């Protein structure tokens, strides 16, 4: 089947041909004719199968008739992240080069005034994140009564990120007669129930089992120690020995781990960049652009880069941390093996990751092979239990030194071990360790709430409490006026 048989306009077909695409993907074959018939769509397909073109191409055909009015967009596309919104804008620019359509992008980290100017000129296609869209609406700069088509892209991610109230509010602001398109890589049953509120008799297009992974991506597990410096060494070994490594995305669960790992790889002279949600928008877009161009070979990222980003030639994905949400694993490894290419995904597994790994294998209905010796989770659990009994930590904290193990704290930083001693007359004195020289408070024990015989108030500190030295200084005499 070719794009000519899907009912697209001549202008759109010319742009698709210029982009070098010959045959539509399965999701495109199923969705495009249904969108052109003005039906609601529930599209489910694994990542990297061309979902974005499934709604951009028919929307361009439908928008050839009509005209936008100031502050009243004709179509609205909601995206969970700024990067995905910017990527959809690039798709409209690529496929809509033969159209004279106004496309506006409303995302955070960009000036309101520049976005207001685009809205005032009239917008055919409005691409936005929910928060910034509602900000413009509440400021009176945006009217949604003219929206004909609503697209919710990466629907499961939108709902996972807590955008349900915002989406419900936006849907109430848009005419009931709108056409609604939901596209997602995964669609759990609870999410599917929510779509029933937004869609009217939708055409369900499912071209792959829910939460499945691409067959052209080789998945491997690597057993690693729990200590951070050893885990980073294991990652460097994988990077150095990976076959046909052109570029790679390394995923971490936490933003602070992204920064720590980025600095570690940079010290070891890897060509590396970082990406996470706390970075400003300009830096995030610059990092992605440099990675696409090949200026950066490795990109250490949080899950902000896991959803929907189209970077076609990523050869490898490394999960430095096993994702705590099994569905995030599907999205992460979907960054490689896109558009029919082959890819490789490594996941570093410690002794504490068994429940997360079990959840992933249950979700994808597949047992992932180990590279080298498999992790002995039973032995790791016994070791953690033994360490807890001896008072040792089960896992070393984050260390910036990759070449040395955790060092003992110097004596000056150890907490003083105190031993109570009877000083006579009912006074209990606490002796500090020799490494500390803090003063010690000596107070007789309290007798209920009664005041002492001398009429003075009760002491401010309990018996045995160390008083800071500055509180024991004599007050300065007041200067004579």
Q: Which of 206, 239, 255 is the last residue of a domain?
A: 206
Same domain, yes or no: 52 and 197: yes
Tokens of 104: 């506006």
**232/264 Cα distance (integer angstroms):** 8
Where do we find the tokens 């397909």? 45
Residue 264, pLDDT score: 95
Domain membership of residue 101 (yes or no) is: yes
Confidence of residue 48 (pLDDT cuts 50, 70, 90): low
Once rounded to an integer, what is the mean pLDDT over residues 13-26?
Answer: 91
List pLDDT tens digits, range 326-374: 888 988 898 888 767 889 999 999 999 999 999 999 988 899 999 999 9
The total of other beta-carbon atoms located within 10 Å of residue 93's CB is: 11
**What pLDDT digit, counting tens, does each position of 172-198 carry?**
899 989 999 988 777 777 677 778 888
Among 132, 80, 125, 140, which Cα is nearest to 109's? Answer: 132
Q: What is the pLDDT of residue 208?
A: 66
Q: Are residues 318 and 175 in the same domain?
A: no
Sign of CA dihedral 197, 201, 203, 205: positive
What pLDDT digit, counting tens, does each position of 230-280 carry? Answer: 999 999 999 999 988 999 999 999 999 999 999 999 999 999 999 988 888
Residue 407 lies in a domain: no
Is residue 119 domain-shared with residue 246, that is, in the same domain?
Answer: no
Q: pLDDT tens digit string along 318-330?
A: 999 999 888 889 8
Residue 222 lies in a domain: yes
In whole numbers, what is the pLDDT of the chain averaged over residues?
Answer: 82
- 320 near 231, Cβ under 8 Å? yes
Look at residue 467 and tell me if it is in a domain. Answer: no
Question: What is the spatial distance between Cα 83 and Cα 2, in angstroms, rounded to a whole number?
Answer: 30
Cβ atoms of residues 262 and 300 within 8 Å: yes
Are 178 and 251 part of one and the same domain? no
The pLDDT, as a whole number, for residue 479 is 72
Asked whether residue 197 falls in the same domain as residue 236, the answer is no
Q: Which of 371, 390, 409 is the last residue in one of the domains?
A: 390
Tell me which of 159, 180, 206 is where a domain ends: 206
Q: What torsion, rounded to 10 degrees, do the Cα atoms 164, 169, 173, 178 define?
A: 20
Same domain flag for 311 and 228: yes
User: Among 113-117, 130-134, 292-296, 379-383, which is the least confidently predicted range?
Assistant: 379-383
| pLDDT tens-digit map of 404-445 | 333 333 433 333 344 444 444 444 444 444 444 444 444 444
Q: What is the CATH number of the domain that holds 14?
A: 3.40.50.300
> Number of structural domains, the chain?
2
Q: Is the pLDDT of residue 170 over 90?
A: yes
Residues 6+ apart with CB under 8 A from 411: 435
Q: Residue 160: helix, strand or coil by DSSP?
A: helix
**Whether 41 and 138 share a structural domain:** yes
Q: What is the pLDDT of residue 345?
A: 95
Do 382 and 276 lie in one domain? The reply is yes
Residue 177 lies in a domain: yes
321 within 8 A of 346, measured Cβ to Cβ: no
Q: Which of 131-145, 151-165, 387-401 has the highest mean pLDDT?
A: 131-145
Shared-domain flag, residues 28 and 118: yes
165 and 235 housed in the same domain: no
> Would residue 311 count as lying in a domain?
yes
Question: Per the domain annotation, does 413 fall within a domain?
Answer: no
Tell whether 221 and 202 lie within a shared domain.
no
pLDDT higher for 404 or 122?
A: 122
269 with 334, same domain? yes
Assigned domain for 167 exists:
yes
Q: Mean pLDDT, to the nearest integer, of 118-123?
A: 93
Reported as a pLDDT band with limits 50, 70 and 90, residue 384 is confident
Q: What is the DSSP string of 202-238?
A: -EEEE-S-TT---TTEEEEEEE--SSHHHHHHHHHHH
Which residues form the domain of 273?
A: 217-390
Q: What is the mean pLDDT of residues 451-461?
A: 56
């Amino acid at each position: 089947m070719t794009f000519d048989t899907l009912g697209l306009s001549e202008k759109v077909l010319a742009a698709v041909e210029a982009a070098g695409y010959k045959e539509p993907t399965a999701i495109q074959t199923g969705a495009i004719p249904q969108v052109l018939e003005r039906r609601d769509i529930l599209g489910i397909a694994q990542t990297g199968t061309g979902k974005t073109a499934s709604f951009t191409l028919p929307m361009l055909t439908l928008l050839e008739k009509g005209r936008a009015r100031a502050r009243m967009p004709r179509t609205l596309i909601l995206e969970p992240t700024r990067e995905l919104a910017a990527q959809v804008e690039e798709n409209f620019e690529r496929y809509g080069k033969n159209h004279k359509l106004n496309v506006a992008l409303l995302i955070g980290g960009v000036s309101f005034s520049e976005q207001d100017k685009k809205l005032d000129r009239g917008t055919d296609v409005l691409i936005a994140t929910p928060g910034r869209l509602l900000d413009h609406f509440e400021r009176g700069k945006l009217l949604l009564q003219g929206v004909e088509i609503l697209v919710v892209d990466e629907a499961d991610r939108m709902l996972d990120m807590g955008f349900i109230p915002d989406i419900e509010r936006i849907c109430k602001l848009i005419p009931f007669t709108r056409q609604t398109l939901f596209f997602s890589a995964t669609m759990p049953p609870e999410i599917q129930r929510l779509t029933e509120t937004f869609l009217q008799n939708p055409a369900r297009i499912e071209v792959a089992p829910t939460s499945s992974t691409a067959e052209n991506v080789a998945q491997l597990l690597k057993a690693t120690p729990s200590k951070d410096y050893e885990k980073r060494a294991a990652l460097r070994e994988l990077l150095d020995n990976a076959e046909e490594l052109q570029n790679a995305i390394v995923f971490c669960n936490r933003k602070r781990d992204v920064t720590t790992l980025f600095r570690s790889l940079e010290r070891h002279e890897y060509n590396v960049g970082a990406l996470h949600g706390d970075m400003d928008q300009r830096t995030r877009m610059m990092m992605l652009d440099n990675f696409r161009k090949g200026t950066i070979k490795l990109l250490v990222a949080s899950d902000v880069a896991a959803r929907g980003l189209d970077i076609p030639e990523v050869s490898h994905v490394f999960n430095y941390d096993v994702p705590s949400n099994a569905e995030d694993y599907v999205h992460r490894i979907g960054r490689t093996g896109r558009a029919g290419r082959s890819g490789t995904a490594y996941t570093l597994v410690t002794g504490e990751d068994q429940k997360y790994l079990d959840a992933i294998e249950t979700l994808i209905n597949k047992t992932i092979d180990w590279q080298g010796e498999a992790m002995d989770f039973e032995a790791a659990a016994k070791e953690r239990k033994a360490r807890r009994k001896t008072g040792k930590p089960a896992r070393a904290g984050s260390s910036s030194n990759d070449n040395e193990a955790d060092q003992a704290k110097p004596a000056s930083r150890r907490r003083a071990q105190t031993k109570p001693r009877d000083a006579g007359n009912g006074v209990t004195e606490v002796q500090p360790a020799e490494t500390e020289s803090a003063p010690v408070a000596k107070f007789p024990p309290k007798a209920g709430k009664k005041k002492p015989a001398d009429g003075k108030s009760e002491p401010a500190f309990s018996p045995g409490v160390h008083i800071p030295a500055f509180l024991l200084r004599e007050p300065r005499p007041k200067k004579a006026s």
